Amino acid sequence: MKMTVSSAAQQWYRENIDLKPGDGLHFYGKVYGKTNVHNGFSLAFQKQKPQHPHYETVLEGISYFFDDEDVWFFTGYDLQIDYDSKIDSPTYTFVDEVTA
């Protein structure tokens, strides 16, 4: 399981959530909603510095991560985060995990 964040999505987070190098963005599953692979659960995030991330990618000094308690939501999938200018918001697409 891995997470990719496009440069356009990174820019949106920096501008709208005031993320700066050294900050973190914690992604997790929450009850209600749906994703393209989850029914009854949606993706949520909050600005938070990682303490003991299960998965973390650091881009331009900002940590994008999820914790051990979030593994159930990401297992078997890679998360692709992009930006859609038509809705001025990030988009989240789960794809089957690519194993090497």
Contact present, 20 and 39 (Cβ < 8 Å): no
User: What's the pLDDT tens digit per position in 51-75?
Assistant: 999 999 999 999 999 999 999 889 9
State which amino acid sits at residue 70. D
- pLDDT in the model for residue 99: 59
3-state class of 14 per DSSP?
helix
pTM: 0.89
E strand or H helix at 93: strand 89-96
Q: Residue 19's pLDDT is what?
A: 93
Largest Cα span, the chain = 36
pLDDT surpassing 50 at residue 100: no
Residue listed under structure tokens 């990030």: 90
